[in-house]
Amino acid sequence: MAVSKTHSANRIPTIYQCDSKGRENHTVVADLDGTLLIDRNSFPYFALIAFDVGGILRLLFLLLAAPLAGFLYRFVSESAGIRVLIFATFAGVKVSAIKSAASAVLPKHYSEDLHPETWRVFSSCSRKCVLTANPRIMVEPFLKNYLGVDVVLGTEISSYKGFATGFVAGSEVLVGKNKAVALRKAFGNETTPDIGIGDRKTDFPFMRLCKERYIVPSRPRVQPVRPETLPKPVIFHDGRLVQKPTPLITLLIILWFPIGILLSILRVFLCSISPISLCIYVLRTLGGQLTIKGTPPPPTTDGGRGIVLVCSHRTVIDAVYVSVCLRRMTSTVSYSVPRFSEFISPIRTCRLTRDRTKDAKLIKEILDEGRDLVICPEGTTCREPYLLRFSPLFAELTDQIVPVGIITKVTMFYGTTARGYKWLDPFFFFMNPMPAYEVTFLNKLQLEETCSAGKSNYEVANNVQEIIAKSVNYKCTRLTRRDKYRALAGTDGLVGQKPTHKVTSS
């Protein structure tokens, strides 16, 4: 294994020359931006935090501060540029809100930007350390929970009575010689890391403390590591922004935001007052996309019992879209839909209580009245291509079951949240320029596939989950609503519950 004896950029071997075999007992130390991550610019991650903790005005403030940060970064010092970004993002924000956003929002975007060659070497070592100029509070949840990093050394932010001041705690931003000092303090004088990886001259001081040194050359066309191949894929994540907000995308978001609000209100209002059979034309006229696959089940005959349409759960308006595709009224049941969402819904929404006996009675009454019922047995939404465990309650109450696969596509805003205001979910979804739904009606279950043929309710529910997963190319999991809310909000997913658990990775 090559050991560099010089520190000039053109003499240090590149990461492509590093052998990752036989590293099981080695310690690796790496920079973050431009090294472990492909992107050398940390602005998008500050922007994600800014929008999550302060909305569009905080995002605007950060964007206006970005030119100054860029000028200072390039012509004065890396430290000065980082200080501007920290102040614009964090000043006056609750430290708890920053921690929550870092745990729930950033991992998804970080996981999509991992450098494949750095990760090849980094993941082969047993002990891992990351040095970064970014605030430790931002990067630590992802690095420790998803990549298994042992030590995270980053810039510390100052706070007063639980609120960030926007200034750096201690002496300096962790750049240049400060990285070397922090590394020596963390490892002591007796321990020498085996591998040091950086991407710029300011990384050389800490790299000199390592036995081997490798540089990551800037190659913008490098394809990132596929997120699903990571030790812990990011299944649950929060935040409203879909894309990583580069300065240009951030500008487009800010310019679109007032237009999106007006368009969203118009879409919601017209769909609320229009006959359900006409909603499909309203949506398409206003830019919405709706693709219907398969054959929708016919209406229930007079005096007959209603059918259950079992759907994958993507947004709060899944049942509305299914009704639009059927061009007839249906009912739906939900546990945590806000009152305002019930009020604007064009279909009837019934509240579940999480009391199994009461909920079973409610569903049975709906079906006995001859009304078709749209139900999402996952109990909560999932943005990624995974299906959560299906509650088997529906399987006990009917043998008239139609699986329905649902896929949503958005380009700007997510229409779901675990930590924000849920009554805004439909509005954020319709703020997208062209929100898209794809609804696939699958074959109704045969009698021998239901509980009427002696199968258990769990067998039926698992079978329906697998049928839907195959139709939309998703993966089945055994994760539940509780797992999601513990990962993102520190609760068990109960309405009105305050955080009682430490936020954990999915």
179-229 pLDDT, tens digit each = 999 999 999 877 889 999 999 999 999 999 999 999 999 877 889 999 888
pLDDT at position 241 over 50:
yes
pLDDT tens by residue, 255-299? 999 999 999 999 999 999 999 999 999 999 999 999 999 999 998
User: What is the span of the domain harbouring residue 96?
Assistant: 15-229
pLDDT tens by residue, 378-423? 999 999 999 999 999 999 999 999 999 999 999 999 999 999 999 9
pLDDT at position 125 over 90:
yes
Same domain, 145 and 109: yes
pLDDT tens by residue, 457-504? 999 999 999 999 999 999 999 999 999 999 998 888 776 666 665 666
Tell me which of 202, 229, 256 is where a domain ends: 229
Same domain, 75 and 102: yes
Tell me which of 195, 229, 263 is where a domain ends: 229
Sign of the torsion angle spanned by Cα atoms 187, 188, 192, 198? positive
User: Is residue 38 classed as helix, strand or coil in its secondary structure?
Assistant: coil
Number of residues that make up the chain:
506
Residue 501 lies in a domain: no
The span from the CA of 62 to the CA of 68, in Å, is 10
Residue 7 lies in a domain: no
Contact 153, 175 (CB under 8 A): no
- Smallest CA-to-CA distance from 81 within 160, 134, 39, 157 is with 134
Kindly report the average pLDDT of the chain as a whole number.
92
Instruction: Label residue 313 by pLDDT band (50, 70, 90).
Output: very high
Interior/surface letters 146-157, b for 16+ CB within 10 angstroms, e for the rest: bbebebbbbbeb
Residue 194 lies in a domain: yes
Q: What is the DSSP pairing of strand 27-31 with strand 127-135?
A: parallel
What does DSSP assign to residue 33? I
Contact 224, 116 (CB under 8 A): yes
With vertex at residue 29, the alpha carbon angle to CA 193 and CA 225, rounded to the nearest 5 degrees, is 140
Distances (CA, A) of 180 to 154, 205, 339: 12, 5, 55
pLDDT at position 5 over 50:
no
Same domain, 287 and 347: yes
- Smallest CA-to-CA distance from 235 within 437, 502, 419, 483 is with 483
With vertex at residue 296, the alpha carbon angle to CA 291 and CA 300, rounded to the nearest 5 degrees, is 150
Tell me which of 181, 201, 229 is where a domain ends: 229
How many Cα atoms sit within 13 Å of 224 on the Cβ side? 16
Q: What are phi and psi of 80, to 5 degrees?
A: -65, -40
Q: In the 3-class helix/strand/coil scheme, how is 209-276 assigned residue by residue?
A: CCCEEEECCCCCCCCCCCHHHCCCCCCCCCCCECCCCCHHHHHHHHHHHHHHHHHHHHHHHHHHHCCC
Same domain, 134 and 208: yes
Packing angle, helices 136-146 and 95-104, rounded to 10: 40
- Smallest CA-to-CA distance from 194 within 53, 54, 24 is with 24
Cβ-in-10-Å burial (0-12, 13-18, 19+) of 51 comes to buried
Same domain, 197 and 322: no
Same domain, 210 and 262: no
Same domain, 156 and 277: no
CATH code assigned at 140 = 3.40.50.1000
CB atoms within 10 A of CB 406: 21
User: Is residue 125 classed as helix, strand or coil in its secondary structure?
Assistant: coil
Same domain, 143 and 255: no
Residue 499 lies in a domain: no
Residue 176 lies in a domain: yes
Contact 387, 403 (CB under 8 A): no
Same domain, 214 and 251: no
Contact 494, 220 (CB under 8 A): no
pLDDT at position 301 over 80:
no
Contact 162, 123 (CB under 8 A): no
Same domain, 221 and 269: no
Q: What are phi and psi of 375, to 5 degrees?
A: -135, 145
Same domain, 216 and 254: no
Residue 2 lies in a domain: no
Residue 3 lies in a domain: no
The span from the CA of 362 to the CA of 375, in Å, is 13
The span from the CA of 327 to the CA of 314, in Å, is 20
Same domain, 399 and 448: yes
CATH code assigned at 376 = 3.40.1130
Distances (CA, A) of 17 to 184, 217, 379, 479: 26, 12, 49, 40
Domain count, the chain: 2
The span from the CA of 231 to the CA of 234, in Å, is 10
Q: How far apart are the first and last CA of the chain?
A: 37
The span from the CA of 138 to the CA of 154, in Å, is 9
Q: What is the DSSP string of 62-96?
A: HHHHHHHHHHHHHHT-HHHHHHHHHHHHHTT-BHH
Instruction: Label residue 231 by pLDDT band (50, 70, 90).
Output: confident
Q: Give the bridge partners for 438, in sequence order.
A: 291, 407
Residue 472 lies in a domain: yes
Percent of the chain at pLDDT > 90 equals: 84
